[in-house]
Amino acid sequence: MINKEILLGGNAMSNEITKLRNRSEVPEELKWDLTKVYQNENEFTEDINKIQEEIKIVGKLKGTLFDSSTALKKILKTYFAVERMTVKAYVYASMLSDQDTNNKKNQGLFSQVQQLYAKVAAAFAWFEPELLTLGQTKLDEYYSEDSELVGYKKYIDEIMAKKDHLLSEKEEKLLAGASDIFATPENIFGILNNADLKFPTVTDEKGNQVELSHGLYGKLLESGNREVRKNAFQGLYKTYKQFENTFATSLAAHVHTHNFQATTRNYPDAISAALGANDIPVSVYDTLVERVNKHLDLLHRYVKIRKKLLQLNSVHMYDLYTPITKLPEEEYTYQNSKKIALESLSVFGADYIQIVEEAFKSRWIDVVENTGKRSGAYSSGMFDTPPYILLNWQDNLESLFTLVHEMGHSMHSYLSNHNQPYHYSDYSIFVAEIASTTNENILTQYLLDHSDDLQFKAYVLNHYLDGFKGTVYRQTQFAEFERWLHDQDKKGLPLTSQELNNKYADLNKHYYGPAITNDPEIALEWSRIPHFYYNFYVYQYATGFAAASALASKIIKEGPDSYLRFLKSGSSALPIDVVKEAGVDMTKPDYLDDAFVVFEQRLNELENILEKLKR
């Protein structure tokens, strides 16, 4: 539950300002106010001591579960109370540590809480296996004896659902012991990719010779100079080509561990195991892939616009990231952006806006950069704290998008925290990006409606279309490849570099269509994508973005009521049912079709504007 908040990091922003202020020089009103979590360090230390005392008591509860319904209630209450205190301390220490990573004392506090969190988890490790042996009949008896227990039913049901996939104690121990061995392929990939690969020297935009790296590659591909892009692209893949067999072997081994564990735990396949862990039906995945395939013609059209704007005879894979619209010259100060954020988000109604105003006024946001501050942006907090936001403000439109994105997360947290009991206040990672991306979509529409500047509109439209391309299309392409990898391994078919290259090249050709020249290097793209070492994770980027696209236009047309109910639901129901509350059934294709309608409309709009600009 903690990691999720860390993962919510939004758009990374660059740290290019030459001279940064020290934390102490940043005005108070631009810093978050963490005294809302603990008044002072003593309060924090008191909680840490309390948690340590509680951990000692927890062991005594082991085995009491079979005594009575009262005993079960006591265990649940103790568990959530200790967890709640620990999460609060964790969130506090992690924010302290992020505000200035040069501060050794705060780093120390954070690692102390990290260790404590692991101890709490270990202290309660007996609970789930014990609950499973208690059995459903006894549980039903407990529910009828004590109605307060019914308030935990959904939580308990989720644990009970694991029953068919839990093995004997001895087998579980064996699997747990092997878990770091299962992680070996990913570790090998990481070391090879980040430490051992040596990339060639290429020429940058200024004519300088620079050593290619992962970070620099992304920047060079955005260059307006085609030779620079091309050389970076070819240079990078030349290196990957040298190690293609090693990359293929480590990826195949990783996929094999998923299939092995799925079979061992009685799942029909690895995808059912991965999605089942988060209660997501496999049909959500299948529907996504099927529907995106139906609408590939729109991606092909978007590539054609690129071709036209960049005035190219043919679009190559290295032409996909260079900007095609002019960056707005206007400065977006934080003061002014707050106003735009409030105006655009007013579609959510007065109650929502009042909380956003409080976020600004009561210093829930750490706005500007300082030396040692963590880069990027995120939303963090928990049940007993405000939903804080970390930013690295840059006075540009991208920063405004990041502000409303993170505000989406924070409002989701705030509304769930204020409408659910603690144990249902946390929402699933599957729905997390919906609230943030919906806000970005609302802002997009607002900016389009409130400007007559065609250059500016073209930029905003392309910002959306490019995001859609990179999130809905590209991540679904990855999801399709990931599915194929697992099927291939399950059937006992080989996963050599040749197989992987061929499949990836086919898929890439299929996705981008006839509008693109398929450079042979792109066949190797799979080898450098760390996400293939996750476990059926990337599809959520695509489903989240598409749902947000569909929801934003629904909110603008029909009002925010059902959407606000979704924001208030936390984890009180299964993720799929929570989203249904907002009016989107993710097991059906309709929300995807709705999202493609928005994509197509904005594509038309961009084409019209470009025509007008030519005249």
Q: Which residues are catalytic?
A: 406
3-state helix/strand/coil string of 68-118: CHHHHHHHHHHHHHHHHHHHHHHHHHHHHHHHCCCCHHHHHHHHHHHHHHH
Which listed range, 9-17, 55-63, 298-306, 309-317, lies at the site for Zn ion (CB under 5 A)?
9-17
Q: Which stretch binds Zn ion (CB under 5 A): 71-79, 428-436, 439-447, 519-527?
A: 428-436
Task: Kindly give, in sequence order, each residue whose CB lies less than 8 Å from that of residue 62, ignoring residues fewer than 6 positions away.
Answer: 126, 130
CA distance 407 to 10: 11
428 touching Zn ion, by CB under 5 A: no
Pull the structure tokens for residue 264. Answer: 């061992």
Nearer to Zn ion (CB atom), residue 471 or residue 527: 471
Q: Supply the DSSP string of 496-556, one letter for each residue.
A: -HHHHHHHHHHHHHHHHGGGEE--GGGGGGGGG-GGGGSSS-THHHHHHHHHHHHHHHHHH
Q: Shortest approach of Zn ion to residue 373 CB, angstroms? A: 19
Q: Is 402 in the site for Zn ion (CB under 5 A)?
A: no
DSSP per-residue letters across 249-286: HHHHHHHHHHHHHHHHTT-SSHHHHHHHTTT--HHHHH
Helix segments in 135-225, DSSP class H: 136-145, 147-150, 153-160, 169-177, 179-182, 184-191, 214-221
CB of 409 to Zn ion, least distance (A): 6
What is the gyration radius of the CA atoms in the chain, in angstroms? 25
* Smallest distance from Zn ion to CB 8, Å: 5
Rounded CA-CA distance 40/34 in Å is 9
Handedness of CA 223, 224, 225, 227 (dihedral sign): positive
State the minimum distance, in angstroms, from the CB of residue 378 to Zn ion. Answer: 8
Percent helix, strand, coil in the chain, to 5, is 70, 5, 25
Q: Which is nearer to Zn ion, 8 or 271 (CB)?
A: 8
Q: Least distance to Zn ion from the beta carbon of 437, Å?
A: 7
Contact 326, 541 (CB under 8 A): no
Encoded one letter per residue, x for contact with Zn ion by CB under 5 A and - for no contact, window 583-612 reads ------------------------------
Measured from each CB, the residue nearest to Zn ion is: 436
In whole angstroms, give the CA distance from residue 318 to residue 224. Answer: 11
Task: Report if residue 420 touches Zn ion, rule: CB under 5 A.
Answer: no
326: left (phi over 0), alpha (psi -120 to 50) or beta: beta
Q: Which is nearer to Zn ion, 287 or 436 (CB)?
A: 436
| Pairing state between β 365-366 and 201-203 | unpaired
* Nearer Cβ to Zn ion (438/508): 438
Site stretch for Zn ion (CB under 5 A), options 1-9, 148-156, 255-263, 278-286: 1-9
Q: Which stretch binds Zn ion (CB under 5 A): 314-322, 429-437, 482-490, 543-551?
A: 429-437
Nearer to Zn ion, 10 or 570 (CB): 10
Task: Considering the complex, state which of residue 255 and residue 407 has its C-beta at the smaller distance from Zn ion.
Answer: 407
**C-alpha–C-alpha distance, residues 134 and 66, integer Å:** 7
User: Which span (124-132, 205-213, 352-360, 431-439) binds Zn ion, by CB under 5 A?
Assistant: 431-439
* Nearest CB to Zn ion, comparing residues 259 and 436: 436
544 binds Zn ion (CB under 5 A): no
# residues contacting Zn ion (CB under 5 A): 3
- Cβ proximity to Zn ion: between 10 and 467 the closer is 10
What lies within 8 Å, CB to CB, of 326 at 6+ separation is 455, 458, 459
Reduced to 3 states (helix: H, G, I; strand: E, B; else coil), residue 211 is strand
Cβ at position 432, least distance to Zn ion in Å: 7
Taking CB under 5 A as the rule, does residue 381 contact Zn ion? no
In whole angstroms, how close is the CB of 374 to Zn ion at the nearest point? 15
Among the listed residues 2, 8, 274, 365, the single contact to Zn ion using CB under 5 A? 8
The only residue of 10, 387, 467, 570 in contact with Zn ion, by rule CB under 5 A: 10
Least distance from Zn ion to the Cβ atom of residue 570, Å:
17
Residue 10 or 575 having the CB closest to Zn ion: 10
By CB under 5 A, tell whether 436 contacts Zn ion: yes
Contacting range for Zn ion; rule: CB under 5 A; set: 4-12, 16-24, 396-404, 501-509: 4-12
Q: Least distance in Å: CB of 379 to Zn ion?
A: 7
Across the beta sheet with 388-390, the strand order is: 365-366, 388-390, 378-380
Q: Which among 4, 68, 15, 76 has a CA at the least distance from the CA of 378? A: 4
Nearer Cβ to Zn ion, position 8 or 251? 8
The answer to the question of residue 317 lying near Zn ion (CB under 5 A) is no
Residue span binding Zn ion (CB under 5 A) among the ranges 124-132, 238-246, 341-349, 434-442: 434-442
Does residue 575 interact with Zn ion by CB under 5 A?
no
CA 485/CA 4 separation, integer angstroms: 27
Residues that bind Zn ion (CB under 5 A): 8, 10, 436
